């Protein structure tokens, strides 16, 4: 008698198979490798103050703005929402975002931002298995370097076969561009890889690149719709239960 395999157990089997034998794990950065969005929010507010602007993004406003991937795009969305008589020019936005990126690096240096629980362990296990590692993120290479130099050491980039940052592709998440570029550089097909994400934008981006997704919930995206993910965890320390189940 064949037992109908419920989608849930089929997904768990697929996840276990990818964790054990997948060709590559492709990590999102913000909210996945580390819980960075509060530092980003502080960096935006410090940049606004340094630019003499009266903008201040509280958590509620920022949660809404996070539906827009990309710091520059987020500034533009907020400015457009204000229906100002003199909207910011692209050059103003780029300058403001450059200040923000500097503030983010300063805040990281002062406050630090550790890898999320279970991230380092998964990276180590994957490396020991000979699996390749990559990054596909909306943020900038500068931010990735500031975060991972502190968390993984100066030679952090030796751990990752490929790092695709948001400004290196035409469209940011939920468009699949960063994931398609990562697959192209890895010369792998999506079904041989596993994406690890924290947001609906990231889930959609990876799925549109035909990469199965493991979600680890983060601060700002607790109530996003993750229906299409293989599994949703609070964090990666829950993984061993998957292996051993
Ligand atoms: C999250 C983002 C980024 C950060 C801010 O990226 O959407 O925009 O919020 O970084 P991820 P920037 O894909 O890693 O979750 O200001 O550099 O965009
Ligand atoms: Mg993220």
137 Cβ inside 6 Å of ligand 1:
yes
Q: Are 172 and 73 in contact (CB under 8 A)?
A: yes
3-state secondary structure of 224: coil
Give the Cα separation of 104 and 111 in Å (integer): 10
> What radius of gyration do the chain's Cα atoms show?
19
In angstroms, what is the span from residue 132 Cα to ligand 2's centroid?
20
Q: Which of 45, 134, 138 to mutate to test the pocket of ligand 1 (most atoms within 8 A of CB)?
A: 138
pLDDT digits (tens, 9 = 90+) for 49-95: 999 999 999 999 999 999 999 999 999 999 999 999 999 999 999 99
User: Is the C-beta atom of 224 inside 6 A of ligand 1?
Assistant: no
Instruction: Give me the pLDDT at residue 2, please.
Output: 64
* pLDDT for position 160: 98
Per run of 10 residues, the mean pLDDT along the chain (length 245 residues) is 70 95 98 98 98 98 98 98 95 98 98 97 96 98 98 97 98 98 98 98 98 98 97 94 67
What distance in Å separates the CA atoms of residue 62 and residue 127, rounded to the nearest whole number? Answer: 36
The residues annotated with a catalytic role in the active site are: 28, 30
How far is it, in rounded angstroms, from Cα 226 to Cα 71? 23
36 Cβ closer than 6 Å to some ligand 1 atom = no
| Confidence (pLDDT) at 65 | 98
pLDDT at position 8 is 83
Q: State pTM to two decimals.
A: 0.95
Say if strands 132-136 and 24-27 run parallel, antiparallel, or are unpaired: parallel
From the CA of 142, the nearest ligand is 1
Asked if residue 139 has its Cβ within 6 Å of ligand 1, the reply is: yes
CA–CA separation, 106 vs 109, rounded Å? 5
- For ligand 1, the distance from its centroid to the CA atom of residue 2, given in whole angstroms, is 46
């Amino acid at each position: 008698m064949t037992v109908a395999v419920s989608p849930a157990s089929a997904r768990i089997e697929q996840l276990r198979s990818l964790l054990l034998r997948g060709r590559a794990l492709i990590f999102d950065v913000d909210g996945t490798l580390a819980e960075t969005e509060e530092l980003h929010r502080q960096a935006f507010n410090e940049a606004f103050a340094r630019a003499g602007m009266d903008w201040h993004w509280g958590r509620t406003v920022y949660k809404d703005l996070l539906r827009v991937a990309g710091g520059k795009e987020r500034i533009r969305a907020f400015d457009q929402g204000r229906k100002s008589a003199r909207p910011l020019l692209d050059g103003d936005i780029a300058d403001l975002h450059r200040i923000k990126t500097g503030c983010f690096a300063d805040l990281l240096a002062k406050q630090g931002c550790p890898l999320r629980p279970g991230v380092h362990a998964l990276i180590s296990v994957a490396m020991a298995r000979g699996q390749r590692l990559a990054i596909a993120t909306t943020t900038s290479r500068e931010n990735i370097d500031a975060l991972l130099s502190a968390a993984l050491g100066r030679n952090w980039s030796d751990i990752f076969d490929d790092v695709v940052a948001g400004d290196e592709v035409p469209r940011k998440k939920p468009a699949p561009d960063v994931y398609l570029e990562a697959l192209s550089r890895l010369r792998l097909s999506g079904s041989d890889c596993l994406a690890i994400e924290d947001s609906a934008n990231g889930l959609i981006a990876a799925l549109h690149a035909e990469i199965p997704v493991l979600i680890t919930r983060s601060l700002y995206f607790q109530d996003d719709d993750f229906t299409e993910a293989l599994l949703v965890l609070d964090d990666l320390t829950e993984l061993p239960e998957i292996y051993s189940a």
